[in-house]
Amino acid sequence: MEKTCRVNKCGPFPCWVARSLVWLARLWITLDVCQRSFCIGFAFLSGESENDFFWAFNRLKSLYIAGNARFPSIILTDRSLAYMNAVATYFPSSTLLLCRWHANKAVLAQCQKPILQLNQGNKSLEIWKEFYGYWHSIIQSPDEEIFYKRVTEFEDKYLDLYLHEVGYIKETWLNPYKEKLVQAWVDQHLHFGNITTSRVEGIHAVLKEYLKRSDLNLFEA
DSSP state, 209?
H
State the Cα–Cα distance between residues 48 and 83, nearest whole angstrom. Answer: 8
The CATH code for residues 7-99+196-211 is 3.30.420
Residue-wise pLDDT for 108-119, tens only, equals 999 999 999 999
pLDDT of residue 20: 29
Contact between 27 and 45 under an 8 Å Cβ cutoff? The reply is no
- The pLDDT of residue 22 is 38
Each domain of the chain, given as residue ranges in start order, spans: 7-99+196-211, 101-184
Low-confidence ranges of the chain (pLDDT < 50): 1-23
In the beta sheet, which residues pair with residue 97?
76
- What per-residue confidence (pLDDT) applies to 201? 67
